[in-house]
Amino acid sequence: MGAAGTKLVFIDNPAEGMTVGKDYVATVTSDRAIIGARTAEAMAAALHEKGKVGYIFHDANFPVTNQRDAAFLWNLKTRFPGIEVVAKAGMADPARIEDIANAMLTQHPEINGIYVPWTEPALGVLSVLRQMGRQDVRIVSIDLNEPAALDMAKGGSVSALIADDAYGIGTAAARAAALSLLDQKVDPLLVVGAGIVSKDNLVDGWRASLHADPPQSVLDALK
């Protein structure tokens, strides 16, 4: 294991060059295939299974986002034939998201749904939609944050956020480390699920993911 017998448990990705069972105990991650499927389902629900979608993917070598992006695209194309992906754009630098979204929507004004790989850049897309006055475009993204949830609570452009069991990831990591300290067998890969958080289940979905209530601003907006 680690230096001086330290038990290492990784979240999402192990360090390159390290061997499970020798250098570290286990990796705990969310089910990226399920996240992609849930994101596609959320987009289909937002568009009533018919529409034109812009697909913004993470243009970097990072397995977590790469696999989620690919799973979303596969599920959307395979399961929802009434939805067409009319534009694709890679996002290497999240700071450029507004330029990417602006160009995409200018070139393809027929777009009424946009996939964004996580919520921070989704806020940049939201800003562009507001500047353009495009209240008809739905955003679906991954992970929870207060500004995106607040827009959703107010009935804005954010239709759904896909949230993994973040609390469960921490719990599984702690248990794996404890079992290893007790010389108990630990599976090398531990995976948790994910669900769709929409306005209708925002409070319960937030609690399921983070084991905490949403921020007060979000609760107030839901009243």
**What ranges do the domains of the chain cover?**
3-30+166-193, 32-163+197-222
Q: Tokens in use for 98? A: 């507004």
Mean of all residue pLDDT scores within the chain: 96
Q: What is the mean pLDDT of residues 145-164?
A: 98
Strand partners, 85: 53
Record the tokens describing residue 15, joined without a space: 């360090």
Phi, psi dihedral angles at 162 (to 5 degrees):
-95, 125
| 38-49: average pLDDT | 98
Please tell us whether the domain made up of 32-163+197-222 is placed in CATH 3.40.50.2300: yes
Q: Where are the beta strands (DSSP E) in the chain?
A: 9-11, 26-30, 51-58, 83-91, 113-115, 138-142, 158-164, 189-192, 194-198
Q: How far apart are CA 172 and CA 180, in angstroms?
A: 12
Structure tokens at 32: 């990226």
Contact between 173 and 29 under an 8 Å Cβ cutoff? The reply is no
Residue 6's pLDDT is 85
Give the residue among 92, 106, 104, 143 at the shortest CA–CA distance from 122: 143
Average pLDDT over residues 122-141: 98
* The pLDDT of residue 3 is above 70: no
Indicate the pTM of the whole model: 0.92
What's the pLDDT at 150?
A: 98
Distance CA 20, CA 1 (A): 9
4 has pLDDT over 90: no
- CA distance readout (Å), 14 to 28, 59, 68: 9, 21, 18
For residue 64, pLDDT over 90 is answered with: yes
